[in-house]
Amino acid sequence: MIYTRSSALFVQAEKVIPGGVNSPVRAFKGVGGTPIFVKEAKGAYLYDEDGNRLIDYINSWGPMILGHAFEPVVNAVIEKAKKGTSFGMPTEIETEIAELAVSMVPNIDKIRFVNSGTEACMSAVRLARGFTGKDKIIKFAGCYHGHSDSFLIQAGSGASTFGTPNSPGVTKGTAKDTLLARYNDIDNVNELIQANKNEIACIIIEPVAGNMGCIPPAKGFLKALRDLCDANDVLLVFDEVMTGFRLAKGGAQELYNINADIVCFGKVIGGGLPVGAFAARNEIMNQLAPLGPVYQAGTLSGNPLAMAAGLAMLTELNTKDEIFERLARKTEYLHNGITKVLTGNNITHTINRVGSMVSVHFDEGAVIDFETAAKGNNETFKKFFHGLLNEGIYIAPSAFETWFITDALTYEDLDFTINAINKVAKTL
């Protein structure tokens, strides 16, 4: 494939935008090469500035679960835009989408809308601290909760002690309140809780991890977390920015039948516009300003265009909930096909899958946490990525990302993909 125009646009962008991109992973640093500039997209396909067509397995990192330029969403946005794009005053549509979200998701009474997943998680933690009167939080190595200071703490060798910031600009004071645990290791979580008795406000977790590849919770792990939280007066925060309205109508809470205390949303809930949200039962949500003392606000929060897109998306998922089953079947088909061709070509690999999330790891052991995810062969992944790109298939430009299956994909697209992987596998 030819990327002349994309390469030229990237050079131009680099002059005025740091690294040429507005979010780092887009720069292809993890795989090498030059990022592709998108011109437009429809259904399962991206069309780039050089006229190449790519089958999209990222789908804007999750939101486009029904495919690109999904008509009900596009039409809702166009109609709303004609009536004004922002008021900074209440609108009826905010209540409509809130009612719908609250009816779809288990265990929540009220929801507040923000502009990104980052904001949702940041606000959820502030609310948890305000509600419990405690300062510390536990997060898991390899889980991503957006780029706010408290979460930019990564596992070093001292993974189960105090976190150290992994970005300059995060103060030691902030980092010391974030404790790091190993994903799927309940004893490790318990140790942290016991060592910090009565200091922990919440545990925040991706109930299915999607930011170190796709890593499912081990059997009983979420239930054990729930029990630990109850026994120690700690709130359980599910970051469902990726899993919410994707794994089921009610997200991972529904799929695993576990109730979280606070739930964060993003991605699908905005139908491709900048939306995040956090939700909980009344007792907790009533602590938020203007009802309670925990402050949280946003000039563009509940923006009419964003709410229109989100409402159209959630309405579709609510009325046609066979979509989740269909997505899971397509993903399973892809999983089986990839297993067959990689095995047939003697490529060492592990594939993880939950619902419409799936990831391919070039290592033979089980991938259950950040450490095992990091073992994957990155050189093989880079070749795999560029090989697929050359075949017209776009997967995430990083070995630490899940693939997002969209309902716009046909079985022909999936077969085309599996054949392409077979071709690429022969070059690995």
Ligand X SMILES: *Cc1c(COP(=O)(O)O)cnc(C)c1O
Residues of this chain that interact with ligand X (CB under 6 A) are 116-118, 121, 144-146, 206, 210-211, 239, 241-242, 266, 276
| Closest to ligand X by CB, 248 or 347 | 248
In sequence order, which residues have a C-beta less than 8 Å from that of residue 72 and are 6 or more positions away? 312, 313, 315, 316
Check residue 43 and report its DSSP letter: B
Catalytic residue among 139, 249, 267, 330: 267
Work out how close the CB of 202 gets to ligand X at its nearest, in angstroms, rounded to a whole number.
15
In sequence order, which residues have a C-beta less than 8 Å from that of residue 207 and are 6 or more positions away? 217, 222, 238, 239, 240, 243, 251, 252, 253, 256, 258, 260
Check residue 409 and report its DSSP letter: -
**Shortest-Cβ-distance residue relative to ligand X:** 117
Are 304 and 80 contacting, i.e. CB atoms less than 8 angstroms apart?
A: yes
Q: Reply yes or no on whether 144 is catalytic.
A: yes
Residue with tokens 């486009």: 64
Using DSSP's 3-state secondary structure scheme, residue 237 falls into strand
Catalytic residue among 48, 239, 261, 369: 239
Q: Reply yes or no on whether 239 is catalytic.
A: yes
Work out how close the CB of 11 gets to ligand X at its nearest, in angstroms, rounded to a whole number.
26
Work out how close the CB of 344 gets to ligand X at its nearest, in angstroms, rounded to a whole number.
33
| Closest to ligand X by CB, 208 or 425 | 208
In sequence order, which residues have a C-beta less than 8 Å from that of residue 258 and are 6 or more positions away? 207, 222, 223, 226, 252
| Dihedral angle sign, alpha carbons of residues 180, 62, 361, 343 | positive
Q: Reply yes or no on whether 375 is catalytic.
A: no
Work out how close the CB of 377 gets to ligand X at its nearest, in angstroms, rounded to a whole number.
24
Are 395 and 403 contacting, i.e. CB atoms less than 8 angstroms apart?
A: yes
Are 321 and 138 contacting, i.e. CB atoms less than 8 angstroms apart?
A: no
- Rounded CA-CA distance 399/373 in Å is 9
Work out how close the CB of 147 gets to ligand X at its nearest, in angstroms, rounded to a whole number.
7
| Closest to ligand X by CB, 115 or 331 | 115
- Rounded CA-CA distance 111/277 in Å is 7
Least Cα distance to 199 among 133, 126, 125, 121 occurs for 133
| Closest to ligand X by CB, 3 or 265 | 265
| Closest to ligand X by CB, 204 or 229 | 204
| Closest to ligand X by CB, 48 or 206 | 206
Least Cα distance to 350 among 384, 325, 373 occurs for 373
Work out how close the CB of 119 gets to ligand X at its nearest, in angstroms, rounded to a whole number.
7
Using DSSP's 3-state secondary structure scheme, residue 65 falls into coil
Catalytic residue among 45, 144, 256, 394: 144
As annotated, the active-site residues are 144, 239, 267
